[in-house]
Chain A
Amino acid sequence: MLSVENLRVVYQEVISVLQGVSLKVPDGEITVLLGANGAGKTTLLRTIFGLLPVYDGKIIEGNVFLDGVSLNRFHSSVIVKKYRITYILEERPVFWYLTVDQNLKAAAFSRPNREISGEIARVLKIFPKLGSLMNTKAGFLSGGEQQMLTIGMALMTKPKILLLDEPSLGLAPLIGRELFGIIRNLNRDGLTIFLVEQNAHAALSVAARGYVIEGGRIVLDGTAQELIHNKDVREFYLGVAGGDQQRFRDAKRYKRRKRWL
């Protein structure tokens, strides 16, 4: 189980982004993290994945644990290779100037040479569409195809836990729905998924548990069902009107009173 305990993170020694975040990602489940822009979602993923030093960030308190082992000090290459966690960036991390085939092979860097062709066959079984595009440069693929390739590349690293940063960003709704179907299938095959999303409706429909992050703190957590029926989540994330506050300023005041901000 991946767990984050009382994590505080600052960028450039001054910008405080996470202010004591704690959450748990149980094995074999889809856990979703909801939050507005700038709430600290991406920073949390970077921290788990050991990318903070690249962005001049620092953990000043707290820990990221995987089955009781602290991951704080590890470089991302160790986290991928030894702890089998893979992170998919918000911008689809395909290499534009390489072909689909080369992309898959490059992503399999942490795997031994002899396993690569078997892994590619496995990925192509999940995404048959990529098979006909093997010699196309990834920069020429459509957004949906790039997202398939991204997930395929992540699978090449043979992860146990997949950190997904807004996979539905910039995709047509229909393709987004297909994507969430794929995510659910991957989870059914045993992959633990930590999903960061703005598309709360789709995310909560596949997830088992969820957390809401605001201003660098977890303000709400519960099972997906609880969150879907929560009055505040319905209003702020699902866009179902029902509260009394109609204006942005009122909403902000309301959130502050509830100690969300």
Chain B
Amino acid sequence: MMDFLQFFCSGLLNGLVYALLGLGLVLIFRASEAFNFAVGEFLVVGAFLFYFFYFNWGLPLLIALPLGLGAAGVFGGIVERSVIKPLMGRPHLSMTIITLGLSNILAGGLQATVGSNPYNFSVSLPDLTLDLGPLIFPSTNVWAGILSLAFFTMILLFLYKTRWGLVIQATSESQPKALCFGINAQSVLLLVWAIAAACIGASGIVISNLGALSSQISVVGLRAIPVVLIGGLDSIAGALVGGLIVGIAESLTGAYLEPAGLIGFKEVVPYFVLLIALFIRPYGLLGRVRIERV
């Protein structure tokens, strides 16, 4: 029983990281109706930008973190302006496809600039190891959960409590309607991509801190696909729910099914959960059912 609780809670902490990753994708999907397949590269770029400020320049964490996230945001903005904006008014599918190409280009660029060697990545944070008798949670995992939850909450507060957040919600619903009231839809989209890139970058930092940073961790970005599809592509609460489900499912599978002979099943189980979730609700657990008129 205690074992179960241990694995369940570890999964929960990992799930929070996935939720943050999913949130970045959901924000982009709601605003641009495009799925960002370059999420893995966004994650690596965000983490490396932070690495640059924190380890190379040796800035204190409280300065390096906002700087790194800001730089990731600028990166997201540049991507929006150069890749997504020229496709405005075209079918949404073309934006999704172009992110596939973008993903390859960025992966090549990363290979050329930072190579594929792992970089040592251990942010000095106060020790928060939770030792509750039979349950032990390492400090890095606890920090991962706390930081992810903090970023997630900050973005939610921005979206639901500020004026710009309201405008983002409105523009995400319909760009023509927003244009009618003088909302500059293009700058709103720019803002959304910047926030989403910072959000994905933040999860990149957190994930790197669990092990090491290398351009290979972009594969973690693929984990975001089941997360957002389970929760619903356009639902922010869905990203949280999906993230937690995937985190817990992975952790429990690793603990109980893999020793029973299903080696590597941990990587696949999110997709099994996804399959079941889509059978029950094709739009994701919390996704909006789309009513389209022809």
Residues of A within 8 A of B2 (CB): none
- Complex formed: what's the CA distance from A154 to B182 in Å? 10
- Nearest residue (CB) in A for B169 is A98
Residues of A within 8 A of B258 (CB): none
Contact with B along A76-111 (1 / 0, CB 8 A): 110111000011110001111110001101111110
Q: How large is the interface on A (under 10, 10 to 19, 20 to 34, 35 or more residues)?
A: 20 to 34
- Complex formed: what's the CA distance from A95 to B179 in Å? 12
Known: A95-B170, A106-B170. A86 touches B181 (CB 8 A): yes
- Complex formed: what's the CA distance from A47 to B181 in Å? 16
Pairwise interchain contact A77-B163, C-beta atoms closer than 8 A: no
**Please, how many residues of chain B have a CB less than 8 angstroms from a CB on the other chain?**
19
- Nearest residue (CB) in A for B175 is A54
B86 to chain A, nearest CB (A): 12
Main SS of the interface on chain A?
A: helix
Residues of B within 8 A of A55 (CB): 89
Counted as pairs of residues, one from A and one from B, with CB atoms less than 8 Å apart, the total is 78
Of the candidates B169, B170, B175, B184, the one whose C-beta lies within 8 Å of that of A77 is B184
Known: A54-B176, A93-B176, A95-B174. A110 touches B181 (CB 8 A): yes
Pairwise interchain contact B166-A105, C-beta atoms closer than 8 A: yes
Main SS of the interface on chain B?
A: helix
Residues of A within 8 A of B170 (CB): 95, 98, 102-103, 106
A53 to chain B, nearest CB (A): 8
Pairwise interchain contact A89-B176, C-beta atoms closer than 8 A: yes
A113 within 8 A of B: yes
Give the interface centre of B163, B173, B174, B177 by most chain A CB atoms within 10 Å.
B177
Pairwise interchain contact B182-A76, C-beta atoms closer than 8 A: yes
A198 within 8 A of B: no
- Complex formed: what's the CA distance from A107 to B180 in Å? 9
A18 within 8 A of B: no
B61 within 8 A of A: no
Beyond the given A93-B176, A98-B173, could you list 5 further A-B residue pairs with CB under 8 A, ordered by the A residue number?
A56-B89, A76-B179, A97-B173, A102-B169, A105-B166
Measuring CB to CB, which residues of chain B are less than 8 angstroms from any residue of chain A? 88-89, 163, 166-167, 169-170, 173-184
Between-chain CB contacts (< 8 Å), 12 pairs: A88-B180, A93-B181, A95-B170, A97-B173, A98-B170, A105-B163, A107-B181, A108-B181, A109-B183, A110-B183, A113-B163, A156-B181
